[in-house]
Structure 1
């Protein structure tokens, strides 16, 4: 199963960071070409507010106290008495899984199934939408 990345979003981030570094390292007026190229790249990139909408929804839940507790097996467990509390007991290491992803609950019980980030069908997010659906199926296949 391929859990790749969203290349258009990474390209836009790389262009922005490169332009900022160019300004910092070479200054103006030399950096104006890098700034112009980055500006054109970002202006032409697909647009979506799915990320900020998700962040706003998550922050609203936090403010409303609708967060729940971190599952015990994900809590820190390197201290005396942690095992007695159930902390870090039963945690599975996704890095050792063939795809780097395995079925395991990460959010608190109160948030299971709540999806804050919902990519659109637009070009820049279509691949992310498909990838996220695969990830969610794997994580929730219990």
Structure 2
């Protein structure tokens, strides 16, 4: 059985992109084909924030080609867990959705200093590792 986890944010240009990238790396490194991931936003931006691209590059992950995308109703319906990054799940999860939702309540890295973005990045990496332990 596959567990699907959706990483959702408003713009899908920072936090959710980092979470998705870390989750993909963890899945490859741990050989966890039983976990699937989706990322998207409710109002996606035009591009991933440059400071996020740089912060991820600093830890060996290239997300420079990633493009923010809108998360679909079907993707949310199909997810077992929806993780929002500091925005309300009410805007994301439909009323009749029966899955689990969590809000990680992370600061938005847009426009932050490299040190602040690195702190957010490292927090996300830690949370993603914990997810793999949990699931």
Q: Normalization by structure 1: what TM-score?
A: 0.23
Which has more helix, going by share of residues?
1
Q: Normalization by structure 2: what TM-score?
A: 0.24
Which has more strand, going by share of residues?
2
